[in-house]
Amino acid sequence: MLNKFIKNILLFIFSFQIFMFAQKKEIVAYYAGGDSYHSYFVKNIKTSGSANKITVLIYAFAVPGPDSSGNIVAHINSYIDYQQIYSSSMSIDGIADDSTQSLRGQFNQLKKLKAEFPKIKILLSFGGWGGGTYFSDASLTSKSREIFVNDCINKFINGNLPLIKNVGGNGVAAGIFDGFDIDWEFPVKGGPEGTHNNIDDKENFTKLLALFRKKLNIINPKLILTAAVAADKPNLNNYDIKSAEQYLNWFNLMTYDFHGSWNNTTAHHTNLLSSSMDTTDNGAEHSFDKSVKYFIDSLGVSSQKIIPGAAFYGKCWYDVDSVNGGLYQPGKDSSGVFKDGFGNYSNLRTIESMGYKYYWDGLAMAPWFYNSKVKIFWTLDDTKSISLKSRYADAYNLGGLMFWEISGDDSIGTLVNTIFTRNMPDLIIKNSHTDKEFPLIKIIKPKRFEIIKHGSNFIINTAQSLHSDLIAKVEFFVDGVSIGYNTQAPFDWVWFNIPKGKHKLKAVATDKNGKKNVSKAIIIHVY
């Protein structure tokens, strides 16, 4: 009895340590608040409950561009960022801007956010897709780098914003930003038409980071410097990632947009694992897992300096055949049907009410929607895939998880909360216990005494019978410790980065009436 008590205490301590370790991870939210069309305000970060959960907010974007003398400096949307007068209904604290204030707009709202939630770090991101036209010019010479970096620090760390109609001025934005994120898309040969490129971009990118780090350290070594980088090998070859690592707090891996309507075949755009079924555009090489493993195993980057990304948006194709639920089928560019073939999670989460069917890819561990009537296919992240990505980050001791971008979440911050808790939202259980039958759950993969290679990611499959339509939740346990739960059929899961040794795996099913059933334990050997 005593041994059992001690064992339970140790198990509790172990589980608590895992929970506390997980909570220390960075939750990095991009916020496209600098766009002129924005309708999501800083106050929404608070009202959704996300401000208590994110650790870093990256405000996007400032862009490099020439000044009147031809020098490359940092440009922002001055009206949106610090001139616009916010009404009380737009403001995070319900207080309207005074027309005589020297700081208004989004920057003033960010300042108020930090005052109310002082644990949040705020970075300013430079570039973005289409915003890196002049990055190559800014980093080209020691003089151009010096001018650009000095200008960024003067404006956004020292807070000396250009004075425009009595708004702005020296020091007005000081203390808002805790550092910078460099989102150059992409050195050497990347970016949309018109982007300036140079064969020396690869080396100059590292030199630019080195100068940023040097200048920030002079002010305060705790100031943060990150870089948003490509997650595919062809573009990654145009960075010197290992040299850049020493100057950065971490890399933000853009593990999304693997596919899109620029392809003529449907596929996942932000899948967790690679699938042998994906033969599109070398698709089997594109996944969240492949990108992370490439950084760790091939580039030698410290795991804690890797923060991969989730997508709070989906991409679509139209005129897609219904074979295989539309997945890996010919499709047409949807930018004429939906703006840039793009839709926020907040809109897509209710798309089933519009005749779409939900699908789950048990190989890529990724969801999609398809409507056979209108022949439209959507690829996205949801609470299941993001819960798995969060647990992956913990299992591989990554720096955390980031996402593009926070305005795509719903009004109650469902996706941010999923990252924070590592869990899908629980369903409401009636606890009525009116039925005589119990939900039955069985682990069908792995097989009993199956031998598995350590460090691998193993997909756990289950089978249900008797009242399986009532199953609301299946939780998975390894050696008595939960590795997560699934509230969305099919009830599969992933055990990440499996350690060596003998392990006992079981699943616990809970039906909508609160009844539980425990599967037969599976013993497996990991070598």
pLDDT in tens, 18-56: 444 445 799 999 999 987 667 899 999 999 999 999 999
pLDDT level of residue 386 (50, 70, 90 thresholds): very high
When pLDDT is averaged across residues 379-407 and rounded to a whole number, the result is: 98
The domain containing residue 404 runs over which residues?
25-312+381-421
Of 421, 453, 486, which closes a domain? 421
Residue 520 structure tokens: 């037969």
Query: For residue 124, what pLDDT is reported?
Result: 98
> Do 396 and 482 share a domain, yes or no?
no
Query: For residue 470, what pLDDT is reported?
Result: 80
When pLDDT is averaged across residues 441-461 and rounded to a whole number, the result is: 93
Query: For residue 283, what pLDDT is reported?
Result: 64
> Do 128 and 66 share a domain, yes or no?
yes
Q: Tokens 């998975």 identify what position?
A: 476
Of 421, 451, 485, which closes a domain? 421
Query: For residue 248, what pLDDT is reported?
Result: 98
Whether 353 maps to a domain, the answer reads no
pLDDT, the chain, mean: 91
Query: For residue 523, what pLDDT is reported?
Result: 94
> Do 413 and 448 share a domain, yes or no?
no
When pLDDT is averaged across residues 460-481 and rounded to a whole number, the result is: 86
> Do 223 and 270 share a domain, yes or no?
yes
- CATH code where residue 450 lies: 2.60.40.10
pLDDT of residue 472 exceeding 60, the answer is yes
Question: Distances in Å between the alpha carbon of 196 and those of 63, 108, 139, 144, 200?
Answer: 13, 33, 11, 15, 12
pLDDT of residue 198 exceeding 90, the answer is yes
Tell me how far apart the alpha carbons of residues 84 and 81 are, in angstroms, rounded to a whole number: 7
> Do 467 and 410 share a domain, yes or no?
no
Query: For residue 335, what pLDDT is reported?
Result: 67
When pLDDT is averaged across residues 399-404 and rounded to a whole number, the result is: 98
Tell me how far apart the alpha carbons of residues 394 and 214 are, in angstroms, rounded to a whole number: 31
How many domains is the chain built from? 2
Query: For residue 430, what pLDDT is reported?
Result: 67
pLDDT of residue 510 exceeding 80, the answer is yes
Whether 165 maps to a domain, the answer reads yes
pLDDT of residue 238 exceeding 70, the answer is yes
> Do 403 and 443 share a domain, yes or no?
no
Whether 218 maps to a domain, the answer reads yes
Whether 199 maps to a domain, the answer reads yes
Question: Distances in Å between the alpha carbon of 429 and those of 244, 423, 506?
Answer: 50, 16, 21
Query: For residue 440, what pLDDT is reported?
Result: 86
Whether 392 maps to a domain, the answer reads yes
Of 421, 446, 474, which closes a domain? 421
> Do 51 and 152 share a domain, yes or no?
yes
When pLDDT is averaged across residues 452-460 and rounded to a whole number, the result is: 95
Q: Which residue has the higher pLDDT, 205 or 448?
A: 205
Of 124, 46, 45, nearest to 81 by C-alpha is: 124
pLDDT level of residue 164 (50, 70, 90 thresholds): very high
Check: pTM over 0.85? Answer yes or no. Answer: yes
Query: For residue 338, what pLDDT is reported?
Result: 60
- CATH code where residue 131 lies: 3.20.20.80
48 in Cβ contact with 54 (< 8 Å): no
pLDDT level of residue 467 (50, 70, 90 thresholds): low
When pLDDT is averaged across residues 346-372 and rounded to a whole number, the result is: 95
> Do 291 and 432 share a domain, yes or no?
no
Q: Angle at Cα 190 formed by Cα 224 and Cα 285, nearest 5°?
A: 85
Query: For residue 340, what pLDDT is reported?
Result: 57
> Do 32 and 168 share a domain, yes or no?
yes
> Do 404 and 437 share a domain, yes or no?
no
Whether 478 maps to a domain, the answer reads yes
pLDDT of residue 5 exceeding 50, the answer is no
Whether 9 maps to a domain, the answer reads no
> Do 174 and 245 share a domain, yes or no?
yes
Give DSSP secondary structure letters for 177-232: --EEEEE-S-TTT-SSTT----TTHHHHHHHHHHHHHHHHHHH-TTSEEEEEEE-S
pLDDT of residue 2 exceeding 50, the answer is no
Q: Which of 80-89, 90-99, 327-336, 404-413 has the lowest mean pLDDT?
A: 327-336
Give DSSP secondary structure letters for 344-399: EHHHHTTGGGGT-EEEEETTTTEEEEEETTTTEEEE---HHHHHHHHHHHHHTT-S
> Do 391 and 516 share a domain, yes or no?
no
Whether 468 maps to a domain, the answer reads yes
Q: Which of 91-95, 137-141, 341-345 has the lowest mean pLDDT?
A: 341-345
The predicted-structure confidence for 309-353, as pLDDT tens digits, reads as follows 999 999 999 999 999 999 999 999 876 556 556 799 999 999 999
The predicted-structure confidence for 253-300, as pLDDT tens digits, reads as follows 999 999 987 889 999 999 999 998 998 876 667 999 999 999 999 999
Q: Which of 31-35, 59-63, 338-342, 398-402 has the lowest mean pLDDT?
A: 338-342
